Amino acid sequence: MRAADVVVSYLNSFAAGDADRIAGHVSDGFRNEHTSELGSSCVGRIEYRRRLPHFLESFADRVYEIDDVIEQVRESVIEVAVRYRFRATYEGVRIDIPGVMWFSVRDAQITKRVDVWDSLTFLRQTGQTTD
């Protein structure tokens, strides 16, 4: 399976809301990095899996709509970049947040994810700021 296929499968698995299925895409030493001020990073599949139920409960009807996927090999690591729109319902409000994720993939598992999304857009859409 190509690295891009692994990443697309991972992102598509969020729609089903199955935390075990989502976490099954990542390695034991998975590094989940968020650059957004509202995001929360973690290390390890166990910690990532522990956090998933809260995320899934907070964002109903969630889907990552993929706009672009780029795959490259860099120093024997396969990297995949994805431009996406995250659509969900948060506390009864529909949100639509653009973002980009960079993934590292080895042996058909995601070893690292760096997620870049717009916190201010989220705060505006959920009525938490008017700036």
Average pLDDT over residues 58-75: 94
- Residue 39 has a pLDDT of 86
- Residue 130 has a pLDDT of 73
State residue 115 phi and psi, 5-degree precision: -110, 125
Is 75's pLDDT higher than 90? no
Query: pTM of the entire structure?
Result: 0.93
- Which phi-psi region, left, alpha or beta, contains residue 92 (left: φ > 0; alpha: ψ -120 to 50)? left
Average pLDDT over residues 68-72: 96
- Residue 38 has a pLDDT of 85
Average pLDDT over residues 108-113: 97
Neighbours of 25 (CB within 10 A): 20
Residues 6+ apart with CB under 8 A from 55: none
Averaged pLDDT score across all residues of the chain:
95
Please state the domain extents for the chain: 3-125
Please say whether the structural domain 3-125 has been given the CATH code 3.10.450.50.
yes
Average pLDDT over residues 92-97: 96
